């Protein structure tokens, strides 16, 4: 189990042997370009001919978001200027999380280029950085663009840690005061929302190692304890203890886990 630093990354980013994620991605892109010549120009522009790792993620996101009536180059400049070391460490941790947890993801390059949950999450990281730096208008515009292009509706103020997987991404809603700690997996059509018209701190707090199943709704300023699991289709209205599974409408406790079980990593949907 990795060592958490709260909302940051684990103390040292995971690596694969002696090769960093970005070295592997560049090698995967070269190999793919040789097999699929039609993708050579795209891969060169977005991966193999880039000057740095931050430029790779900036070019990929700018290309995906360029449906807006804003120049792709301007989007690229906005994203690249916002990326910093902390965000890049989280991007790398998210790539590793998707590669390890999603059996349909066979390469880091596939996650980087094709998975809209990953794209939405990284663009949220940009929007959040803009939000906390005092640029709420451009942050909100970017968050809305994410919703239109990729599907997830994530308020730019929401705080999201590292090693996160938004599986598929479709239909995910994350409210303004929501907190998601490290090493969390969230499947499609999940809502982290409020319960009505209350103001202030009104959204869920998802602790380390949690897995939230497809279609689950977690409502209100409640805590989902570390290393717990919310079963698919559940509606959670009360706090959930650590190391347990809840299921149902409304959700109730159905199982207590072993202390070493990490639902976000095992991705076991059984209850």
pLDDT value of residue 16: 54
Token code pair at residue 12: 């040292």
The pLDDT confidence band at residue 15, using thresholds 50, 70 and 90, is: very low
The pLDDT confidence band at residue 68, using thresholds 50, 70 and 90, is: low
Q: Cα Rg for the chain, rounded, in angstroms?
A: 18
Q: Do the Cβ atoms of 226 and 244 come closer than 8 Å?
A: no
Average pLDDT over residues 188-216: 95
pLDDT value of residue 146: 94
pLDDT value of residue 192: 98
> pTM score, two decimals?
0.86
pLDDT value of residue 73: 87
pLDDT value of residue 271: 81
**259 DSSP 8-state letter:** T
Task: Name the strands in the sheet holding 223-224, side by side, starting at the edge strand that comes first in the sequence.
Answer: 159-160, 179-180, 205-206, 223-224
The percent of residues in the chain predicted with pLDDT above 90, rounded, is 80
Give the range with max mean pLDDT: 10-14, 37-41, 171-175.
Answer: 171-175
pLDDT value of residue 212: 98
pLDDT (tens digit per residue) in 84-141: 999 999 999 999 999 999 999 999 999 999 999 999 999 999 999 999 999 999 999 9
Distance between CA 71 and CA 66 in Å, rounded?
7
């Amino acid at each position: 189990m990795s060592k958490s630093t709260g909302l940051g990354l684990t103390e040292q980013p995971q690596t694969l042997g002696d090769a960093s994620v970005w070295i592997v991605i560049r090698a995967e892109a070269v190999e793919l370009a040789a097999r699929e010549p039609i993708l050579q120009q795209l891969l060169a522009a977005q991966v193999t001919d880039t000057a740095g790792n931050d430029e790779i993620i900036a070019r990929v996101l700018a290309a995906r978001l360029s449906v807006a009536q804003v120049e792709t180059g301007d989007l690229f400049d906005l994203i690249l200027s916002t990326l910093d070391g902390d965000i890049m460490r989280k991007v790398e941790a998210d790539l590793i999380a998707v590669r390890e947890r999603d059996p349909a993801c066979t390469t880091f390059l596939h996650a980087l280029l094709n998975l809209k949950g990953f794209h939405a999450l990284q663009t949220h990281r940009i929007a959040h950085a803009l939000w906390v730096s005092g640029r709420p208008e451009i942050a909100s515009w970017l968050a809305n663009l994410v919703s239109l292009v990729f599907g997830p509706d994530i308020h730019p103020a929401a705080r999201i840690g590292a090693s996160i997987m938004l599986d598929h991404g479709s239909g995910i809603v994350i409210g303004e005061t929501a907190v998601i700690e490290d090493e969390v997996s969230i499947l499609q059509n999940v809502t982290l929302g409020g319960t009505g018209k209350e103001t202030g701190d009104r959204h869920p707090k998802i602790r380390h190692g949690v897995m939230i199943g497809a279609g689950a709704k977690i409502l209100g300023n409640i805590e989902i304890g570390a290393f717990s699991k919310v079963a698919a289709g559940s509606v959670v209205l009360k706090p959930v203890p650590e190391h347990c599974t809840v299921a149902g409408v409304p959700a109730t406790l159905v199982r207590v886990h072993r202390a070493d079980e990490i639902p976000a990593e095992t991705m076991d949907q059984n209850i």
